[in-house]
Amino acid sequence: MREDTIVAIATPVGTGGIGVLRVSGDRSEDICRRLFKPRNTITHLETHRLYHGDIVDGETGRVLDEVLVTLMRGPRSYTGEDVLEISCHGNPLILQSVLDTVLRAGARSAEPGEFTKRAFLNNRIDLAQAEAVADLVTARSERGMQQALFALKGRLSKKIRDVQASFADVLAFLETSIDFTDEDITLPDEGHYLPVLRDAVRSGRNILATYDRGALYRKGLTAVIVGRPNVGKSSLLNRLAGEKRAIVTEIPGTTRDLIEVDVDVSGLSVRFIDTAGIRESDQEIEREGVRLARMRSAEADLVIAVIDGSEGFFEEDRRIMEDNRDKRVVVAINKSDLPQKVDPAKLTDLVSDEDVIVLSAKLNRGIDRLKERVVAECDGGDRNGNDVLLTNLRHREALREALESAERAARSMETGESPELPAFELQEALRHFALITGENAGDDVLDQIFSRFCIGK
């Protein structure tokens, strides 16, 4: 199938100003010559140059659209093969008609992610970079997009390869020790290689430690708003969303169902979830709402516990916070526009000073400070977004396995065991590293990864 010439529409479905078809494979130039009629006569298609003209039906000669085409000869193309891009007007009918005539001219429909898969197989990018392409396309926030771009540019791969190279150096020493045990030659000093291995493991652990923050950048953070009825949870959700998304009344228990809204907060995608007021009730619908509130709180990355500062701090408020003691909790003391009965200093036995925010959802006071505390969950001290983070679960598991093998190797070397044992462990470590960058990834792994891509990428 790698010998086939493939084609797909590379732009989203729907009407737009422009629509692009991408063709890749040996027949790209032949298809271009058969279907493209340039406005000016040309005898040679130069690579990486735009040409203006018409696309015609290969069988009838009927003009399908006025287009721009670019032929990019391999290996200087995205896939490493000859690539043809046809820029049409963005009418789905036009795109489909051009796609049909390209298929009749000898191409076949591309599978999901097949263009990027060919780029990987042709050594244009490694597997981590290939996965970053999908992350870049589907990024939900500025921070997630930045991390995907770092990975696509190879910054994550470089960090991984630096650790990998150190492991390989130590393995080479161990294999030399095995091969020349009985030879009368001077071997390298083992005392040099154990610190090299430990330093490399430490660097790998530092990369691994970034996963929790990186995963939040990639998928976004979920913050559940909880509290007693009528403390202002729905009003707070509306302020955070910047629009009215939840019904607000003076009647306690108005919110029964979950109301969710995605908000970009300082480049991070945050899903705020408004929940039913938590209290004992004999109404079945309200009890179900409370059950859902508790369930989503247990699943959340962060809980915003709202207290009515004008009424006071009650046992129900304390119980709600204690129910979420295993979570990071930010306390929002609402209704600061009214005389206050809650002293923020008296809540420090439950949360830190920084996680107590006094605000007024009604007057839009303190909302920005609350948002700052929410995103502080992800900052990790890097407010400029320059850290390269591990964001992919598959990468985390492969790296974790590699480091565990390397640590076993270090213990074997430290205790003076036969070099065959640490050498075996380091071979295992390098095998797991190769799963990240793709040196020995099997077809099943590749099929699973690229099946998640969109067609045309």
- Please check whether residue 121 lies inside any domain of the structure: no
Structure tokens at 54: 């018409």
Say if residue 12 is preceded by a cis peptide, omega within 30 of 0: no
**Would you state the pLDDT for residue 397?**
96
- Are residue 163 and residue 188 in the same domain, yes or no? yes
pTM passes above 0.95: no
**Would you state the pLDDT for residue 295?**
78
Mean pLDDT by 10 residues, the chain (457 residues): 89 92 97 95 91 95 96 96 97 97 96 94 94 91 92 95 94 81 54 90 96 90 89 90 62 59 89 76 58 77 92 88 86 94 88 90 93 79 72 95 96 89 94 90 82 81
CA–CA dist 216, 223 (Å, integer):
12
**Would you state the pLDDT for residue 163?**
96
Residues, the chain, total? Answer: 457
- Please check whether residue 314 lies inside any domain of the structure: yes
Among the residues of 242-328, which ranges form H helices? 284-299, 315-323
**Would you state the pLDDT for residue 278?**
66
- Are residue 55 and residue 159 in the same domain, yes or no? no
- Are residue 94 and residue 176 in the same domain, yes or no? no
- Please check whether residue 288 lies inside any domain of the structure: yes
- Are residue 408 and residue 363 in the same domain, yes or no? no
- Please check whether residue 370 lies inside any domain of the structure: yes
Chosen domain end from 348, 379, 410: 379
Amino acid at 378: C
Assign 329 to helix, strand or coil.
strand
**Would you state the pLDDT for residue 249?**
46
Label the pairing between strands 302-308 and 328-334. parallel
Assign 442 to helix, strand or coil.
coil
CATH number at residue 443: 1.20.120.430
Query: Domain span at residue 402?
Result: 128-210+390-450
- Are residue 332 and residue 397 in the same domain, yes or no? no
CA–CA dist 188, 374 (Å, integer):
52
What is the total count of domains within the chain?
3
CA–CA dist 145, 138 (Å, integer):
8
* Beta partners for residue 262, in sequence order: 271
**Would you state the pLDDT for residue 182?**
55
- Are residue 168 and residue 251 in the same domain, yes or no? no
The alpha-carbon radius of gyration of the chain (Å, integer) is 29
**Would you state the pLDDT for residue 416?**
85
∠ CA(330), CA(225), CA(365), 5° rounding? 65
**Would you state the pLDDT for residue 447?**
83
- Please check whether residue 206 lies inside any domain of the structure: yes
